[in-house]
Chains A and B, each alone.
Chain A
Amino acid sequence: MRTKLITLVATLALLASASAQSTITVAIPSGPPGFDPQNNNQAVASGVYINIFDYLIFKDAQGEFQPALATSWEAVSDTAWRVSLREGVTWHDGEPFTADDVEFTFERVANDPLLVRNSYYSNITDVEVVNDHEVIFHTAEPDPIFLSALSRNGASVIPRHYYESAGVEAASLTPIGTGPYRFVEYRTDDRLVLEAFDNYWGGRPAFDRAVFRIIPENSTAVSELLTGGVDIVTTVNVSEVGRIEASTAADIAVVGGNRTDYLTFNVSEDQVTADPLVRAAVDYAVDDALLAEILTDGAGVPVRARVSPETSFSPLEYYDTYLFDQERARELLAEAGYAPGELTLKLMGATSNADAADLVAAMLADVGVQADIELFEKSVWNSRYWQPGDFTNIAFGASSDSSFDYGNSLIDLTCPDGVHAKRSHWCNQAFTDLVEAANVEFDATIRAGLLKQATDIILEQRPQYYLYSGATFVGVRKGLNFVPRADSLIVLAETTTTP
């Protein structure tokens, strides 16, 4: 009798522990706007999509290309890439993944101008299906960094059969992918619930369920972390770092990345910042290291160009270095014809730039330049001044580049379509030619050389003045083996608990 009872209890206990689902909860500041990976630009969304969808090629934490849905790849010519696809992969609904899906995915984003990601892939002219597990990408122009395009935000592979049968709307509401987690439900601004996909080609992930909770107020998210309500907080404000460090429940992880904070100069003729001497003076007047120290609690690294160790082809001689020489700044100002106190520069930005603006203003004052700060609420700043480049003198900005390729990031400054060039009203043909040449150059050494020349132009002309390469703070509860990535992808498949 007693043995039977013990057996019963043991079985029940076993069943109970087996049925207890393990859940990992991540706090994100805003929700993905939908689940069409080709139609949005938001960092948060891409960070989440990586759990539902796969790329063809996946960059690991060291930035090396790893096979994902593609197992091998090679450039067969300047404008053609042969990619072999993984076999035995199924979509969340059981259908097999084939080359057909790859053709559908990339031809869709390349051909539809209404999709936000369109311009990143418009270089693709055709996706040729060789057989069920092999495709050849044909590009219009030679594209040495084509592989980066296949492993960046926007390159998630989507299922043809589902998009065609259910329609785009349904497909972007309840997505189907090949990723480690399948979609269960999404309550807008509340939570996204995913559950582990048994047949994932990379093996079933450690956690049965993944929940993304949307918590806009950062102090609330941190409070949740400290009380065990969430396991990870993806972006922790500098002001909250101390709270997590002081607690026994969680740790702070500092992640690099290529998000760079900078000042953009308006170089149009009617501006005082049209004078390169003035721009140079600002460069020498501002102490990048001090800014990084105060604004990012020392985690940011001063830079002179938009570089970072994780970005390929990054000229790292401009990383962790900056120009700061107040005497030189004063000399340059005098050369430009300004006596101390004579020059007034406007500093514009969003409310979140308030502290940075104050610090820069104080530094400018030290060399005899009056600073006039004008800040705006974020959406007003964005739509009225920032996007159209309609600001006076100096504007605060920050950008990152999910392709993690330096040459790609320089496109932003090319004329006439580069976003940053438009904002700065800077059009330099020599620079544009160099970048365009570099981005069709397959030889790595030659490419690096061209990019260096292009960088020299930026350093001399200063349409933008780079401050520091940002760091992100991530809060992780103790006992969790989560590695935050430089590209902000929240990869839960590889997350486990430490024993």
Chain B
Amino acid sequence: MKLLRALSKHPLAITGLVILLGFLVVTMLAPLLTPHDPLQQHLRARLLPPFWLPGGTLEYPLGTDQLGRDLLSRIIQGSRVAVLVAFGATTLVILVGTTVGLLSGFFGGLLDTATMRVVDVIISVPDIILYLTIIALAGPSLTLVIVVIGLVGWTTLARVVRSEVLTLRRREYVEAARALGQAELTSAFRQVLPNVLGTVVAIATLKASSVIIAESTLSYLGFGVQPPTITWGQLLAQGQQYVATAWWLSTFPGLAITLLSLSLIFLGNWLRDLFDPRSNG
């Protein structure tokens, strides 16, 4: 309830939430919403512009591509992968990051040092270069893209969680719980998790938006998820080839990417401001 009230004060966050929910609904209902089969070619209706331009028709509202496939249907279909990648990678980030941060902060010692070294290795190489190296060499696939982005992205989260754990370890109630005989690890989880959850969600949401951009960049460079699976990044990359003659092919997927990314950022910003005790909004 408190959350909702807090939310109501921030129109940007509300907008973000609404857009996000909208995308989720579209993703789940995709097969019902696509006016045409996204893979169906209409060879006599190639490169048609959106319906409000001369030559366009309402049958293909956002126009068609070089094989006559309906752009709107393909964008709707592509939202599935966008959401899957965003959620999949982000979940991985949350799971791995939180676990590693907790264990590392709690147990300290050799585990902590080793983990922090691994973190150093990962963060030293710029994200996209690391993604590209692994994905390009191993061969792109949907699973690999999700896994790689997830396994590269957990570091910030792990550090944040770890520092929370370190702070809390010094506090008395952990001592007290220990004195009462509670298993240490459980007590750590119980104390730390609620404090950390808010930040985790905030960071994860912002991460999700960069994941979507990362996927589209990979596709542009040719190392993303391969056709015939449709992703927005791919649509953007394919549409890029026609950017001067059929601008709609890249503009609308680009807008979709930007919009979903925006919604996640608005939401994430609000969440971060909410949970960060130092920030005044």
Residues of A participating in the B interface, judged by any CB pair closer than 8 Å? 218-219, 222, 237, 239-240, 242-243, 290, 294, 351, 354-355, 357-359, 362, 373-380, 384
Contacts and interface: CB of A to CB of B under 8 A. Distances in A.
Given A355-B67, A358-B67, A377 B222 contact: yes
15 contacts: A219-B241, A219-B243, A219-B244, A222-B244, A237-B241, A290-B43, A294-B66, A355-B67, A358-B67, A358-B227, A358-B228, A359-B67, A374-B226, A375-B226, A380-B139
B222 A378 contact: yes
A122 to B, nearest CB: 33
Q: Specify which of A243, A351, A384 lies most central, judged by the most chain B CB atoms within 10 Å of its CB.
A: A351
Nearest to B135: A377
A221 B243 CA distance: 13
B139 A351 contact: no
Nearest to B46: A294
Main SS class of interface, B: loop
A374 B136 CA distance: 16
Interface residues of B, number: 21
Nearest to A242: B245
A239 B223 contact: no
B120 to A, nearest CB: 29
Given A240-B241, A378-B222, A354 B140 contact: no
A358 B38 CA distance: 12
A298 to B, nearest CB: 13
A400 B179 CA distance: 79
A377 B241 contact: no
B242 interface: yes
A375 B219 CA distance: 13
B67 A377 contact: no
Given A219-B241, A377-B140, 16 more contacts: A219-B243, A239-B66, A240-B241, A242-B245, A354-B228, A354-B238, A355-B66, A357-B227, A358-B39, A358-B41, A358-B67, A358-B227, A359-B67, A376-B139, A377-B223, A380-B139
Contacts of A357: 227-228
A243 B47 CA distance: 14
A362 B241 CA distance: 23
A98 B220 CA distance: 51
B222 A351 contact: yes
Contacts of A243: 244-245
A162 B41 CA distance: 58
B130 to A, nearest CB: 17
B187 interface: no
A222 B243 CA distance: 12
Contacts of A222: 244
Nearest to A380: B139
A66 B256 CA distance: 58
A377 B228 contact: no
Of all A-B residue pairs in the complex, the 6 with the closest CB atoms, nearest first, are A380-B139, A239-B241, A354-B227, A375-B226, A239-B242, A242-B245
B228 A373 contact: yes
A239 B240 CA distance: 10
Contact of A240 (B46, B140, B244): B244
Interface string B16-46: 0000000000000000000000010101001
B221 to A, nearest CB: 9
Interface string B203-245: 0000000000000000000110011100000000010111111
Nearest to A297: B66
B226 A376 contact: yes
Interface in B131-163: 136, 139-140
B139 A384 contact: yes
Given A294-B67, A358-B39, A351 B227 contact: yes
A375 B223 CA distance: 11
Nearest to A226: B244
Contacts of B223: 377
Contacts of A294: 43, 46, 66-67
A22 B238 CA distance: 38
Contacts of A384: 139
Contacts of A377: 136, 139-140, 222-223, 226
A351 B241 contact: no
Contacts of A290: 43
B121 to A, nearest CB: 25
B240 A219 contact: yes
Nearest to B240: A219
Nearest to B69: A358
